[in-house]
Amino acid sequence: MKTLIIGSRRSQLAQIQSHLIRRQLLDAWPDLQIKIELIDTQGDLNRKDPLPAIGGKGLFTIELEEALRRRKIDLAVHSLKDLPIEDSAGLTVVAISQRAPTADVFVSRVASRIEDLPQGAVVGTSSLRRAAQVLALRPDLSIKDIRGNVDTRLRKLDDPVLGYDAILLAQAGLRRLGYQLDYAHPIAESTFLPAPGQGALAVQGRADDPDTTAYLQILDDADTRAAVTAERAFLGGLGGGCSLPVGALATVNDGQLFLKAMVADPGGKRVITVAGESTRDRAEELGQQLAEQCLDQGAEALLHI
């Protein structure tokens, strides 16, 4: 009987995501034995410093990738938005499973929209992308860094000493964790774009392990892969990593791919938005084309402010 070992971060959300992949594999291959190995990552161990200050690329993935190379695990499950664009040496993204909701969620007990917050209210986020889009909508608001898992962030929101009026979270994470909060409101993706790859799970394996790859490929969702390929090609075309103030969202309809993307300066004073469409099989080309359009409009200067 074949046994596979999944590598997962220790957070509750990461474990739920790994169990989702485990269940999908067992549904497809009932004779498999699948174990989950919990691994600490740099991003989990340092929960105090702002993410951009401690690195960006690979903060939640490097240790999992090393365990793959050492054959301690057979596959790793990542939130795709945390995974650097370039494949790590010897590794590959074997499958990208069907995507969860992609929106960001506005969580607050004092307002139901960013636009309705009181003058000078404090919004908690550790994402430059979210901060820039908030400030583009409401330059009077104050951004305050916030770290920790979803439970921790919700507790911080309710702690009057910390002074948060609102926080921003990913809808996919809240749904996977089973939260149904009457004070959590998805933000319209027409005006507030998610991170490239947000809501998607990546299953990473070794490039020289065709036996495991044969089991994992059943997980791959073609429409999701095309959408996130376009989004990540846009990010890659800007020469950036997952911590930059860059948003992108692609959708697929009847084989046609639609991509909307944005680049902002960290203070939200200037936002460059682009959009385009192509056939699904030209997803990477579309992302790169829109990145070039942004660069032509001065995006490089925004990313280095």
- Say how many C-beta atoms besides its own lie within 10 A of residue 81's C-beta: 24
- Say how many C-beta atoms besides its own lie within 10 A of residue 177's C-beta: 14
- Interhelix angle 283-296/222-237, nearest 10 degrees: 30
Question: Collapsing DSSP states into helix, strand and coil, what is residue 53?
Answer: helix
The closest of 143, 148, 257, 263 to 196, measured between CA atoms, is 263
DSSP-assigned letters across all residues of 60-126: TTHHHHHHHHTTS-SEEEEEGGGS-SSPPTTEEEEEEPPP----EEEE-SS-SSGGGSPTT-EEE-S
DSSP-assigned letters across all residues of 11-36: SHHHHHHHHHHHHHHHHH-TT-EEEE
Distance CA 50, CA 1 (A): 45
3-state SS, one letter per residue, for 188-208: CCCCCCCCCCCCCEEEEEECC
Q: 175, 155 in Cβ contact below 8 A? A: no
DSSP H or E run through 259: strand 256-264
The closest of 166, 116, 159, 161 to 143, measured between CA atoms, is 166
DSSP-assigned letters across all residues of 115-171: GGSPTT-EEE-S-HHHHHHHHHH-TTSEEE---S-HHHHHHHHT-TTT--SEEEEEH
Both structure tokens of 189 = 């993706």
Catalytic residue positions, numbered: 82
Distance CA 12, CA 51 (A): 19
